[in-house]
Amino acid sequence: MLTFKDISYTYHTSNGETTAVKDLSFTVQDGQFVSVIGPSGCGKTTILSLAAGILTPSSGEIEYGGGEFGYMLQRDALFSWRTVEQNIFLPLEVKKRNTPEMRERAIALAEKYGLKDFLKKSPNQLSGGMRQRVALIRTLAAEPDVLLLDEPFSALDYQTRLEVCDDVQGIIKSEKKTALLITHDISEAIALADKVVVLSARPAHVVAEHEIDFGDGSPKKRRECGNFAATFEVLRKELGI
């Protein structure tokens, strides 16, 4: 379980200070998939960096039950000089858990999600959607407990986006991971999450939280649900667009 309690964070540069986040509070339960949406530049990425411990809050507390984070970035950031397989092993090497068992499990995960024929290839030979899938498997390789996803689909074209969206949610749910995803795409937030947190403009605080219950369908199925459009409208108004 991950809880933000009255978190504030201010960026300091020689040009001045910017408070990205102020008195922000929300909770992510174990096994829950939470989407965070908000206006552009409102501090969503800051929230993930705070969660991962890369940044320390200026004030407030982050309560965390323990376990490791996996951070998936906006761009796949795969290393072109390594094969797909070697890219997947990267977190194992860094965290010094590069055992044969961990590697086998990582390969099994990759094969389970359609990457079997691509393991020995160079990332350059893969399409954008495949690369993002590899990035997800890489994030999962060290078996983190919580996944932090920073607009992981924004660099993809729309069709690929819809497909990868389905894959990612499927993988996360079947591996029973907790996930915190930030996005500026309202329909994506609704399609993926169990709960949507709406942020205000900078300095960001929580404007509303919505529990999403469209059943256990895939994101594509959820988009077809009756109250999808209604929920979309509610969120759109809350974002003020």
Shortest approach of other proteins to residue 142 CB, angstroms? 8
Shortest approach of other proteins to residue 54 CB, angstroms? 6
* H-only helix segments in 61-141: 84-94, 100-112, 128-141
Most distant CA atoms of the chain, gap in Å: 51
Cβ-based nearer residue to other proteins, 134 or 198: 134
Cβ-based nearer residue to other proteins, 78 or 199: 78
Query: Angle, nearest 10°, between helix axes 100-112 and 84-94?
Result: 140
Q: Is the distance from CB of 62 to CB of 33 less than 8 angstroms?
A: no
Residue 21 identity (one-letter amino acid): V
Shortest approach of other proteins to residue 52 CB, angstroms? 6
Q: Is the distance from CB of 209 to CB of 197 less than 8 angstroms?
A: yes
Measured in residues, the chain has a length of 241
- Distance in angstroms (rounded) separating the CA atoms of residues 216 and 167: 14
Cβ-based nearer residue to other proteins, 81 or 158: 81
Shortest approach of other proteins to residue 72 CB, angstroms? 9
Q: Is the distance from CB of 217 to CB of 69 less than 8 angstroms?
A: no
Residues that bind other proteins (CB under 8 A): 52, 54, 69, 71, 73-75, 77, 79-82, 90-91, 93-95, 122, 124, 142
Cβ-based nearer residue to other proteins, 118 or 214: 118
Shortest approach of other proteins to residue 131 CB, angstroms? 13
Q: Is the distance from CB of 202 to CB of 38 less than 8 angstroms?
A: no
- Distance in angstroms (rounded) separating the CA atoms of residues 140 and 170: 13
Cβ-based nearer residue to other proteins, 77 or 230: 77
Shortest approach of other proteins to residue 74 CB, angstroms? 7
Shortest approach of other proteins to residue 45 CB, angstroms? 10
Give the contacts of 179 (CB within 8 A, at least 6 positions apart): 32, 33, 34, 146, 147, 148, 149, 172
Residue 126, token pair as written in the block: 């893969």
Cβ-based nearer residue to other proteins, 143 or 166: 143
Cβ-based nearer residue to other proteins, 84 or 239: 84
